[in-house]
Structure 1
Amino acid sequence: MFKDLLDRAKRVAEEHLPSDVLEAGRKLGRTVAAHAPAPIAEVLHYVTEESEQAKAEAEAAAAKAKDAGGSQRAKAEGAKSEGAKSEGAKSEGAKSEAESEAESEAAKAEAAGPEGTGEASETPRKPSQTITDEVAAVTDDPPAPAEAARLGPLREDPQAVLARVKAKAEHGLKPEDRLVVIYATPAEQEEVEAIEKILEGVEAEVRHNDLRREPQTARQLATLTGVMVPPYVFINGRHWGNRYDLESLAAWGDLPSVVANRLDEISEDARRLGKVHDSFRDEISVSNILERWKLGHILCVDDLDSWYESDREGERFYYQGGPRPVADMQAVAEQIVAAVEAEQIEAVWQLEPSVHLP
């Protein structure tokens, strides 16, 4: 019963599907059968390979077409030879007629001369010259006012860009600063949207980091901040809390100054919130590296973070993308200092994991 159904399905497919589709299916069946167990490979071979009846019909059709093609070629060859003879006779007559017409036209041209017709002659233009002129005519035309209004300005006013860059430089910021990074999981989407709403109207570059995909970063942030529940909001590398902390900064009027890194202008409440009273040296020395590692700070060495963690489960040290023995911290710090002094690597302190703008 099942075999009869397969045979009927094969016949229907061979009658109605194009040959290239059938051949593609057979190739796929052979590929799968080569890696399948023997019973399954046998079934695939039976289902996909061409049936004997179809093969016989195809061979008969091919032989018939070959015979028909042979007879047609023979007829064509005979007709071609007959036509060649007649064409030879015609070409001889046409050649003599063309020569006589050419002589007659040459004689007329000599008699008329350059001014015989009374019309000014026009130098023919090369096709490439015509195309070039047409392109120039199109590109030289200014856009219509309606089209220009629709397109709008293509780039920002250079003076505005220069003023913004100068304002950042005055406060020790690079042009790409004013960076706000929100660390959260999809479960805190409502909190994230509330944070984004608070930041509306403040010039900032807002980035998101999905902690669900980076559990190691989530553990690191929990250890660094002492807060176990996201979201975490970092502004220019400093942890500023969560949604409600940003609401407080906005209510105090300190949020624009915090985003602009003008921390000398913020209120005492904002300084306490951001722990701005803490200050650290950014020098790359062995003692400073070890001290700041112990505080949970991150040293980015050639774009790879290195840090130290300590909790109830014990101490951990990470360097060059993987865990290292805590006993190696002194030696690693010495290696970093030597490489920085030799200008072989770049080391930068951070208060958050590396965030690179695309």
Structure 2
Amino acid sequence: MGSPALSPRPLLSALAAGATSLGCVLALSAAPASAAKPAPTSPTPMVLPTYSTSVVGISPQAAAKTTASGKTIRSLTMDNGKFYVGHGDYLENSGPTKVSTFDPVTRTFAESGLTAPTEEITTYRKINGKMYAPWTDPTGSATAKQGFSTNASGVWTNEYKAPAEHVYDVASLNGSDLWMVGSAKNVVGTKGGAAAYRSTNGGATWSLVSKDTSVTETGYERYYWAAALNGKMYMQAQGVTEDPPVRVFDGSRWTSLAMTPCHAVEARSVEVFKGLILCPNYLKGLIAFDGRKMTPVLPMTYGNVRDFDIPGDGYIYALAGHGIFRSADGLTWQGLAQTPDLAWSIGVHNGTIYLGQRLNATIVKLDGLNVNARTATTATTTCKKPRGC
């Protein structure tokens, strides 16, 4: 299909530009109507150390893409000692896209043998020890079923599962089911809308279980992420002009929450960690959402969180526009380093931070920083105000 008519990247820019403040705006006490109100202020960001970087590899698969944006390393997801490398460009239709890995020890790239029918692999998800690559923008027929690539069977295969237009994320509620979310195909009388599909029989058959669209459809309505937390599946559509609520499925019924914790338009910027959904909010910064309340934990001063990594060392790592952070609980964050130019994705292995870069198919590492040996001497940031920061 490869339609560039709508993409998450212009939406992300528009939301960020529309934010009334780039930092945590402190709550002001009530003042007389005649008094001039002081201008809102942003907190002074902590000073983060700067580290040099070294090139560790240039992905031949990303380098072979026909567009500059297609060469962007969009995700680094570790499995069995190797990073799966997300890359591609679904604005300019640079697919199909090879499923490939990078070995940080040997500094070599390898192909899985499978080419995914998608203009871009934005993210990889690991479910029950198996890898899944949602088809962000399928290259196939507009009438064909679409889905994801996976090694769930022991070898990498392409799975054509539902009448989706885009598949942005894959998730599981209980470990035995599978979900994929994105948007439905355009059919007569409809432009598709945000759509979530679920399979309860190992992926053999799929059902449309949730859909959101605008009263006057635009074709911009999509679910960009799905996250399972405490026995419930959460998702929220973007691009719906009436601001849809968070949709919640508890295994038997759907409910809704009238709030907007996440403005995420890429699944790689949404993660579940220590009983929290962590995601960017373009008015509040990084949000920790427990299914009931939203807690701002990193201010917008540091820019939008682009990517997360959970390497298994007890921490979650976040790559923001102006800083690299880690947290052991999702609420209190330790600043590690300033974000180098062009950094677009993050992966951590054996204490070393690896960064995928924009536009040049390159993976670098931070020199002089080993997070395994790092003590908690760097300033930390958290938000505990009742109204948030």
Q: TM-score, normalised by structure 1?
A: 0.20
The structure where strand makes up a greater share of residues is 2
TM-score, L = length of structure 2: 0.19
**Which one has more relative contact order, counting CA pairs under 8 Å at least 6 apart?**
2
Bigger helix fraction: 1
